Amino acid sequence: MPEGDTVFRTARHLDAALSGRVLVETDFRVPAHATLDLSGHRVLETVARGKHLLTRIDARARDAGANLDPPSGRLTLHTHLKMEGSWHLYRAASRWQRPAHQARVVLRTDEWTAVGFSLGIVEVVETASEPDVVGHLGPDLLAADWDAAEAVRRLRSDPGRPIGAALLDQRNLAGVGNMYMCELCFLLGVNPWLPVRDVPDLARLVDRAQLVLAANKDRPAQTTTGDTRRGRQLWVYRRDDQACRRCGSQVRVAPLNERATYWCPSCQPGPVGGAGSR
């Protein structure tokens, strides 16, 4: 599943290409919105909230029917990439890089075609109702209103929960996916199965999460080691059975809440990662 910094970059690219432009054609390839037509309406902006994308549209009716005339005058296209989703931008007549049957949303302007492939969530809501779809999220690591103290408070609200699972819970802090969870735990020397109450410096872990995502939000090649060369970007994630870059011990993998979790048993001592660990 894409991390918060990937979604942040996606929002920035969609915003740059579509904002201020009138939609000349729309195609919603999901049953709930199959008949929805937003052509003739102007895109206002696209923003990220954690791993969610919000594309806001000036939807004041232009002889298109009452369903396009919300009280606020605005609609929001809410999408989520989940595991396989992605947004692509194409110039007119350019060949799509993924099969057409995977497209869930197509937004065309006079200059760009934005195609959302294999999106996990596609829904259109009144912009005033955005809290209904993203209001459950914790502080956004990459937002201007990032609140580290609130993120720490939310993590501490369930002290017996494994810290790895708590970091993945978007209700605590929004933007950390499985890769960053594993890497952050390694960077702080914390075992992913350690209960939240036993994490030595939770505030430092939260601060590091914000710093790492912020450092990677402007580059497509994510790194936590500081080395962007292929195969050297990460400490432990997807490096099971390889030597730890720090101590030489064998990196291990085990499921945590059904997510493959990678850690170094020497650098991150603590609870054994389940019967399936290796």
Catalytic residue flag (residue 3): yes
Do 59 and 75 form a contact (C-beta atoms < 8 A)?
yes
Do 48 and 142 form a contact (C-beta atoms < 8 A)?
yes
| Tokens encoding 91 | 């110039």
Integer Cα distance of 237 and 233 in angstroms: 10
Helix (H) / strand (E) element for 259: namely strand 259-263
| Tokens encoding 165 | 């699972």
Integer Cα distance of 138 and 122 in angstroms: 21
Catalytic residue among 3, 104, 183, 192: 3
Catalytic residue flag (residue 2): yes
Coil, helix or strand for 169? coil
Residue carrying the six token digits 């390839």? 29
Catalytic residue among 9, 49, 51, 161: 51
Catalytic residue among 12, 153, 245, 259: 259
Task: Please list the residues that pair with 105 across neighbouring strands.
Answer: 28, 116
Integer Cα distance of 180 and 185 in angstroms: 8
Catalytic residue annotation: 2-3, 51, 259
